[in-house]
Amino acid sequence: MRNDNTFGIHFILRMNKVKNGKAPLYARITVNASRIEVSLKTLVEISDWNPSKGLAKPKNEKAKELNSFPRTGSRAVRRLLQTIATAEENYQCGSHQKFVPGK
């Protein structure tokens, strides 16, 4: 069985919100061409960011710690979406009707 769903997660800085040389870090999640951006509530020095890799340049401990999140966070999001996709495959048509209020 072939899966036609697509998924991607990229980490970006929002350059339109730069203050004092720092920009907020966002996770851009794309599923089947629909995209959302989620703020990670972290500011990153623009000079410490490598946009082509989507990671901080590992110059210091803070940057190294920041780089651990994309790896672990990506895995967690992928597992969650895989669980949702599996649940949708197992979903029985018509079974939702018993949960509709008023029916």
Q: By three-state DSSP, how is residue 65 classified?
A: helix
Between CA 29 and CA 38 the distance in angstroms is: 8
Q: Is residue 47 part of a domain?
A: yes
Looking at the whole model, is its pTM more than 0.85?
no
Range with the poorest average pLDDT among 6-10, 14-18, 37-41, 93-97: 93-97
How confident is the model over 14-33, as a mean pLDDT? 90
- pLDDT at 93 > cutoff 50: no
Q: In angstroms, how far is CA 39 from the centroid of its own chain?
A: 9
The bridge status of strand 22-31 relative to strand 55-56 is unpaired
70 vs 9: which has the higher pLDDT:
9
Position 100 confidence tier, pLDDT thresholds 50, 70, 90: very low
Q: For 53, how many CA atoms within 13 A lie in the half-sphere containing its CB?
A: 10
Q: Which domain holds residue 24?
A: 7-91
Number of domains in the chain: 1
Cα(5)–Cα(60) distance, integer angstroms: 38
Q: What is the C-alpha to C-alpha distance for residues 50 and 24, in angstroms, rounded to an integer? A: 14
Q: Is residue 64 part of a domain?
A: yes
Task: Tell me if 27 is assigned to some domain.
Answer: yes
Q: Confirm whether 11 is domain-assigned.
A: yes
Q: What is the pLDDT of residues 33-84, one digit of tens each?
A: 888 888 888 898 999 899 888 888 888 888 777 777 766 666 776 677 677 6
Asked if residue 18 belongs to a domain, the reply is yes
